[in-house]
Amino acid sequence: MGIDLSVIWAVIIVFGVMMYVIMDGFDLGIGILFPFVPDKGERDVMMNTVAPVWDGNETWLVMGGAGLFAAFPLAYSVVLSALYLPLMFMLLGLVFRGVAFEFRFKARDHKRHIWDKAFIGGSVAATFFQGVALGAFIEGIPVEGRAFAGGSLDWLAPFPLFSGLGLIAAYALLGCTWLIMKTEGRLQQQMHGMARPLALLLLAVIGIVSLWTPLSQASIAERWFSLPNLFWFLPVPLLVLATFFYLLRSVANHDNSKPFVLTLVLIFLGYSGLGISLWPNIVPGSLTIWQAAAPPQSQGFALVGALFIIPFILVYTAWSYYVFRGKVTPDQGYH
């Protein structure tokens, strides 16, 4: 039996996107939480918790997109044609956010509020349109022959828009629990107070999405509730409920790092549920990974480069987080 390069590439892309969601999620979450923390010094601390690592986090987004282009060019052309506008809006949000991140620390006091607003707006816009793109992807993308067969505004639908709002709640909880782990004093106490309502909001979002998806898509309902698939999927909602219980308890106990770790587990469980629902489709409702795959020679050539560079990215990421571990205090700064 030969090596299935399409499966290997699917795993690499799924891993890259998951790493981006986890690592850039709390980064974007800090921008979403900015309006609730008006104090300048505390905002400086919030930004300094991610200042050394924020740009490296987005490496995983680039890798996921490049991997999709190299290994599944047909899926790349269909997905980008369908989601061109929300993805462009997402990138514009990331640009505004990145510029604001640097300029805020260099601005004079009377102009800093401009960059604060750009940071908030960029973070919210990038998160919202990521969620919109995800929701539109889950709903399915029509394909005729080898081309996208829908309209440029198909993503303007209730489920994708709700997914955008839901992702804002998820990233806000990630950012909140990250700040619990990385800060101390009044700011940490404020985040402890916000974590419980954000967790309950995210639980409500997960519940609504879990009901909405099978009710609106018969193919996903059949996959979830048919045997033996039900036995594969059943542990996911049970683990989600258990994780939420321990998350709320760790917040009530004013734990330091447990809330962040448990929130990461929640994000992973949601991601795994998505994978179970869609596998092996790379364009839901239209194309499997094998139908959209590049020639084996192209996949093999690109795989050599990917397997060379991924260990470097992992080592760099782990080293940067290790070097800048621990609490961030008001007297510390990375700008």
Mean pLDDT of 231-248: 87
Mean pLDDT of 49-72: 84
Structure tokens at 254: 């004013």
Mean pLDDT of 303-312: 91
Q: What is the pLDDT of residue 333?
A: 59
pLDDT in tens, 86-96: 999 999 999 88
Question: Is residue 51 domain-resident?
Answer: yes
How many whole angstroms separate alpha carbon 208 and alpha carbon 229? 21
Q: What is the pLDDT of residue 1?
A: 47
Residue 100 confidence class, pLDDT cut points 50, 70, 90:
confident
Does pLDDT of 181 surpass 80? yes
Mean pLDDT of 54-59: 77
Residue 262 or 330, more confident? 262
Residue 334 or 95, more confident? 95
Mean pLDDT of 29-43: 90
Does pLDDT of 314 surpass 50? yes
Which amino acid is located at 86 in the chain?
Answer: P
How many whole angstroms separate alpha carbon 93 and alpha carbon 68? 22
Mean pLDDT of the chain: 87
Instruction: State which residues form the domain around 144.
Output: 5-187+283-324
pLDDT in tens, 109-132: 778 888 888 999 999 999 999 999
Residue 43 confidence class, pLDDT cut points 50, 70, 90:
confident
Range list of β-strands (E), 184-327: 281-283, 287-288
161 three-state secondary structure: helix
Q: What is the pLDDT of residue 277?
A: 79
**Bond preceding residue 214 cis, omega within 30 of 0:** no
The mean-pLDDT minimum among 194-208, 274-288, 304-318 falls in: 274-288
Question: Is residue 144 domain-resident?
Answer: yes
Q: Measuring CA to CA, how many Å separate 67 from each of 19, 83, 103? A: 14, 17, 32
Question: Is residue 264 domain-resident?
Answer: no
Question: Is residue 332 domain-resident?
Answer: no
Taking alpha carbons only, the member of 329, 33, 318, 317 closest to residue 170 is 33
pLDDT in tens, 189-210: 999 999 999 999 999 999 898 8
Question: Is residue 265 domain-resident?
Answer: no
Question: Is residue 213 domain-resident?
Answer: no
Does pLDDT of 243 surpass 90? yes
Domain count, the chain: 1
Question: Is residue 15 domain-resident?
Answer: yes
Q: What is the pLDDT of residue 17?
A: 87
Query: 269-273, long-range: CB within 8 Å, 24+ apart, which pairs?
Result: 269/236, 269/239, 269/240, 269/243, 270/170, 270/206, 270/240, 271/18, 271/21, 272/236, 273/210, 273/233, 273/236, 273/237
How many whole angstroms separate alpha carbon 43 and alpha carbon 113? 11
Secondary element (H or E) of residue 36: none
Could you tell me the pTM of the whole model? 0.91
Question: Is residue 215 domain-resident?
Answer: no
